[in-house]
Homo-oligomer: A and B are copies of this chain.
């Protein structure tokens, strides 16, 4: 079945690994018969900085509160055009893929600014203008899938379970869990290519092939089993119940382990 996929990417150099992998995404998805939407943030000269110019019609002209003005603009249908256009793409998409080089263990500023500006109050948080009622597995983007594909300069062992940088998936938790699962996306495990500073041609080819396989299974693969806010694990909507992930704390406690929830077997899920 034809789906719509939005690719949001952030590298200005057409021959960069990031952009090569974007080409793989486009090619693979089109070959599968899907429709592809793109946000080429450098190419669009995306405005990264969230500021007063994003609120031409103010709820309070005297004091700039981002939350209040974001809600006023979004709920009142008075957003600036570039923000509204990205939200339309998101709402149309069945899946969103973010492709970027890992800079200081996060997104390049131009992509962070895409999240800062597009994730409006009433849409990505405060959904239905109902505070935190809908979040973490619930919300405007429920039923859609998201995935990160990152180009990492350093070696894989620096990101291994006991590697000096910390494990990649934990470093990206503020994005995967905090920015994507929060407004309702099912988030797939991150795809990473390491050591991108010095890659031989055969390594680039291998990376392209590995990424192609992930893209082909975008609608089949099992998401990271983050715990939903409204599924019973957080009785007060804030803190894990004592019997859930008993004895654990920190980021990993918010991922269901095989002992509590059976991990879905990807190949059995169907497209």
Instruction: Collect the chain B residues with CB atoms within 8 Å of residue A174's CB.
Output: 104-106, 166, 171, 174
Cβ contact within 8 Å between B197 and A104: no
The closest CB in chain B to the CB of A229 belongs to B164
Beta-carbon nearest neighbor of A240 in chain B: B162
Q: Are B161 and A250 in contact (CB under 8 A)?
A: yes
Main SS class of interface, A: loop
CB distance from A116 to the nearest CB of B (A): 5
Q: Is A177 at the interface (CB under 8 A from chain B)?
A: yes
Interface residues of A in 5-49 (CB under 8 A from B): 12-13, 15-16, 42, 48-49
A51–B113 Cα gap in the complex (Å)? 15
Give per-residue flags for A100-120: 1 if the beta carbon is below 8 A from chain B beta carbons, else 0.
010111111110110110010
* A153 interface contact, C-beta 8 A: yes
**Interface size, chain A (Cβ < 8 Å):** 67
Measured in the bound complex, the distance between the Cα atoms of B153 and A48 in whole Å is: 21
* Partner pick for A136 among B154, B160, B164, CB 8 A cutoff: B164
Number of copies: 2
Kindly state whether residue A213 has any CB partner on chain B within 8 Å.
no
- Contact between B136 and A116 (Cβ–Cβ < 8 Å)? no
A110 with B48, Cβ < 8 A, contacts A65-B13, A116-B104, A251-B251 known = yes
Asked if A200 CB lies within 8 Å of chain B CBs, one says: no
CA distance A197 to B131 in the complex (A): 12
Tell whether A265 is near chain B: CB-to-CB under 8 Å: no
Interface flag for A269 (CB, 8 Å): no
Q: Give Cα A197–Cα B110 distance, bound, in whole angstroms.
A: 26
Which residues of A are interface residues toward B (Cβ below 8 A)?
12-13, 15-16, 42, 48-52, 63-67, 101, 103-110, 112-113, 115-116, 119, 132, 136, 153-155, 157-158, 160-167, 170-171, 173-175, 177-179, 197, 229, 234, 237-240, 245, 248-254
Closest 8 CB pairs of A and B: A109-B113, A105-B174, A161-B249, A105-B178, A13-B64, A109-B112, A48-B48, A162-B240
5 additional A-B pairs beyond A16-B64, A166-B173, beta carbons within 8 Å, are A50-B109, A106-B174, A109-B116, A162-B249, A250-B250
Q: Can you list 17 residue pairs at the A/B interface with Cβ under 8 Å?
A: A16-B65, A42-B51, A48-B49, A48-B109, A48-B110, A105-B178, A109-B110, A112-B112, A155-B238, A157-B239, A158-B238, A162-B239, A162-B248, A162-B249, A163-B239, A166-B250, A251-B251
